[in-house]
Amino acid sequence: MPPPKITTLAEMAARVPDGASLALGGSFLHRGPFAFVRELIRQRKTDLEIIKQSPGYDLDILCRAGCVAKARAGIVAMEGNFGLAPWYRRAVERKQIVLEEHACMTLTAGLRAAAFGVPFQPVGGVHGSDLPSLNAWAAVKDPYGSGQEVWVIPAIQPDIAVIHVNDANELGDARVYGTYNWDRIMSRAAKQVFIVAETLAPVRSFTDRPELTLIPSFMVQAVAVVPHGAWPGSCWPLYEVDYPAVEAYMDMDRELSLHMAHAPERQERVDA
């Protein structure tokens, strides 16, 4: 019998060693594994490497709490009307974290290399950008003679991909409603996959429509059920961004603990 995959948020976060590399699902304020990120902060994790094409709140709050050593990212912002991610910005400007700046698709190319089991992966475009010299990326000439030069990105294999989904089942299968952003390739690239789900759904609902499953159970090591866990972001179609909460988070004079105290996973812990 394999060990049961359903666990608590606290136990799931406890499995993350200091220094681990984490790919985080979702995009900007939408369907990010934000309850999980806050649990990392409560457990005072350090030296994490965060991998995500378009992080925002998640990378920012981890920088704010001093949990991050390195970020590999395409575009970092709070989005909406909030603009730049302030604590991330400060952490980079003060050299408290190392940034590996990507385009969203170069980061994806690195993840594709890991997912495909090859050491590097070609990516379209990038010509004329300063990013390759910054990152010491190589270009290769088409060995089949077209004369084209293509940039190639070394493999990026996260230790753990953490994906916030709408539904999971007790076996570990997971599905998302609306766009799955970059989550599919993250789940295929990472060594392990942790799922945070809004709802525990019957296995039968998955066998009825297997084509809706984004991540199959055999690839998943742990599942935590955390309703509203993408707060203060959105989880389509269940809830929208909590803009007043994001605005309060952005107040640089306000204690982080006040924001953390409003997190829905805290309420549930108290209730339980």
- Choosing from 243, 254, 258, 267, the residue that interacts with another protein (CB under 8 A) is 243
Task: Considering only residues 148 through 207, tell me which ones interact with another protein, judged by CB under 8 A.
Answer: 178-182, 184-185
Enclosing H/E stretch for 193: strand 192-200
The CB-of-115 to another protein minimum distance in angstroms stands at 11
- Choosing from 7, 54, 121, 213, the residue that interacts with another protein (CB under 8 A) is 54
**Options 10-18, 81-89, 159-167, 252-260: segment touching another protein (CB under 8 A):** 81-89
Dihedral of the alpha carbons of 151, 152, 153, 157, in degrees to the nearest 10 = 150
Enclosing H/E stretch for 184: helix 183-189
Gyration radius of the chain over CA positions: 19
Closer to another protein by Cβ: residue 70 or 89? 89
Contact between 80 and another protein by CB under 8 A: the answer reads yes
Closer to another protein by Cβ: residue 13 or 55? 55
Rounded to an integer, what is the distance from CA 48 to the centroid of its chain? 12
Residue 122 CA to residue 31 CA, distance in Å, equals: 29
What string marks each residue from 93 to 132 as x (binds another protein by CB under 8 A) or -?
A: x-----x-xxxxxx-x--------------xxxxxxxxx-
- Choosing from 66, 74, 154, 227, the residue that interacts with another protein (CB under 8 A) is 74
The CB-of-229 to another protein minimum distance in angstroms stands at 16
Q: Is the peptide bond before 3 cis (omega within 30 degrees of 0)?
A: no
Contact between 256 and 60 (Cβ < 8 Å): no
- Choosing from 84, 139, 200, 203, the residue that interacts with another protein (CB under 8 A) is 84
The CB-of-183 to another protein minimum distance in angstroms stands at 9
Question: Half-sphere exposure of 154 toward its Cβ, with a 13 Å CA cutoff?
Answer: 8
Please say whether the dihedral angle defined by the alpha carbons of residues 228, 229, 232 and 236, taken in this order, is positive or negative: negative
Enclosing H/E stretch for 106: helix 104-116
Residue 83 CA to residue 93 CA, distance in Å, equals: 16
**Options 70-78, 159-167, 187-195, 255-263: segment touching another protein (CB under 8 A):** 70-78
The CB-of-205 to another protein minimum distance in angstroms stands at 19
What string marks each residue from 202 to 241 as x (binds another protein by CB under 8 A) or -?
A: --------------------------------x-xx--xx
The CB-of-138 to another protein minimum distance in angstroms stands at 16
Contact between 42 and 35 (Cβ < 8 Å): no
Pairing state of beta strands 149-154 and 160-168? Answer: unpaired
Rounded to an integer, what is the distance from CA 207 to the centroid of its chain? 27
Q: Is the peptide bond before 232 cis (omega within 30 degrees of 0)?
A: yes
Residues near another protein (CB under 8 A): 27-31, 53-54, 73-77, 79-81, 84, 88-89, 92-93, 99, 101-106, 108, 123-131, 134, 178-182, 184-185, 234, 236-237, 240-241, 243
